Amino acid sequence: MMALRRIDPVGLLVLPAVLYLGLVYGLPLLNLLARALVVDGVPSLAGFVKFFSDPFDWIVIGNTLRIAVLVTLLSLAIGFPTALALARARGAAQALILVAIILPLSVGVVVKAFAWQIVLRRDGVVSQALVALGLWDEPQRLLFTEAGLVIGAANVFVPFMILPIYSVVKLIDPRLGEAAATLGAAPAYRFFRVFLPLALPGIVSGIAFVFSMAVSMYVVPNLLIGDRFQTLATLTGRSFLLMRNEQLGSTTAVVLLVLAVSVVVASSALSRRFGGQS
Amino acid sequence: MTPVERLSGIVVWGLAIATVVFLLTPLAVTVAVSFGSSAVFTLPAPSWSLRWYEALGRSRELWGVVATSVQLAALSTALGLGFGTAAAIGLLHGRFPGRDAIVTFLVSPLMLPGLVVGIAMLEAYRAAGLRSVWVSLILAHVVITLPYVVRTVYAALSLFDFTLIDAARTLGLSYPRAIVKVLVPALAPAFVTSGMFAFLASMDNYPISIFFTDAWTRTLPIQMLQFVEESPDPTIAAISTLLILLAVVVLVVGDRMVGLRRMADL
Summarised one tens digit per residue, pLDDT across range B88-131 is: 989 988 878 888 899 999 999 998 999 999 999 999 999 999 99
What ipTM was reported for this prediction? 0.90
8 Å CB contact between B165 and B183: yes
**Residue B235 pLDDT more than 80?**
yes
Mean pLDDT on A165-175: 90
**Residue B210 sits at the chain A interface (C-beta within 8 Å):** yes
Q: Long-range contacts of range B228-233, CB-CB < 8 Å, 24 or more positions apart?
A: B228/A110, B228/A113, B228/A114, B228/A117, B228/A223, B229/A222, B229/A223, B232/A114, B232/A117, B232/B41, B233/B39, B233/B52, B233/B55
What is the pLDDT at residue B96?
A: 80
3 state SS of B83: helix
Cβ neighbours of residue A177 closer than 8 Å, sequence gap 6 or more: A190, A194, A195
What is the pLDDT at residue A1?
A: 46
d(CA A63, CA B233): 31
Percent of chain B with pLDDT over 70: 99
What is the pLDDT at residue A7?
A: 55
3 state SS of B75: helix
Nearest CA among A101, A96, A77, A38 for reference residue A254: A38
What is the pLDDT at residue A3?
A: 53
Mean pLDDT on B34-43: 78
**Residue A278 pLDDT more than 50?**
no
**Residue A5 pLDDT more than 60?**
no
DSSP run (H or E) holding B231: none
**Residue A57 pLDDT more than 50?**
yes
Question: How many residues are there in chain A?
Answer: 278
**Residue A4 pLDDT more than 70?**
no
Lowest mean pLDDT among B64-68, B215-219, B259-263: B259-263
What is the pLDDT at residue B38?
A: 78
8 Å CB contact between A143 and A224: yes
8 Å CB contact between B30 and B244: yes
Nearest CA among A184, A26, A5, A192 for reference residue B120: A26
**Residue A66 pLDDT more than 50?**
yes
Q: Long-range contacts of range B210-213, CB-CB < 8 Å, 24 or more positions apart?
A: B210/A237, B210/A241, B210/B118, B211/A240, B211/A241, B211/B118, B211/B119, B211/B121, B211/B122, B212/B118, B212/B121, B212/B122, B212/B133, B212/B136, B212/B137, B212/B140, B213/B133, B213/B137
Beta-carbon separation of A111 and B244 below 8 A? yes
Percent of chain B with pLDDT over 90: 52
What mean pLDDT value characterizes chain A? 89
What is the pLDDT at residue A277?
A: 44
CB half-sphere exposure, B215, CA atoms < 13 A? 0
- How many A/B residue pairs have CB atoms within 8 Å? 289
What is the pLDDT at residue B158?
A: 86
8 Å CB contact between A114 and B224: yes
Nearest CA among B199, B214, B213, B204 for reference residue B254: B199
**What secondary structure does DSSP assign to B215-227, as a single string?**
SSS--HHHHHHHH
What is the pLDDT at residue A93?
A: 93
Sign, CA dihedral B173-B174-B176-B177, equals: negative
Q: What are phi and psi of B50, to 5 degrees?
A: -110, 15
Nearest CA among A146, A120, A128, A144 for reference residue A62: A146
Beta-carbon separation of B94 and A10 below 8 A? yes
- 10 Å Cβ neighbour count for A13? 19
**Residue B229 pLDDT more than 70?**
yes
Instruction: Choose the mutation target among B19, B95, B138, B143 for the interface with A, i.e. most A CBs under 10 Å.
Output: B19
* Residue A258 vs residue B160, higher pLDDT: A258
8 Å CB contact between A195 and A236: no
Beta-carbon separation of A114 and B150 below 8 A? no
Beta-carbon separation of A111 and B243 below 8 A? yes
Q: Answer whether 0.95 is exceeded by the pTM.
A: no
Beta-carbon separation of A253 and B116 below 8 A? yes
Task: Report which residue type is found at B128.
Answer: A
**Residue B106 sits at the chain A interface (C-beta within 8 Å):** yes
Q: What are phi and psi of B36, to 5 degrees?
A: -85, 155
| Contact list, A116 vs chain B (CB under 8 Å) | 26
d(CA A34, CA A38): 7
Most confident of A131-140, A196-205, B155-164: A196-205
Percent of chain A with pLDDT over 90: 54
pLDDT tens by residue, B1-31: 678 778 888 999 999 999 999 999 999 999 9
Beta-carbon separation of B248 and A103 below 8 A? yes
**Residue B148 pLDDT more than 90?**
yes
d(CA A81, CA A86): 9
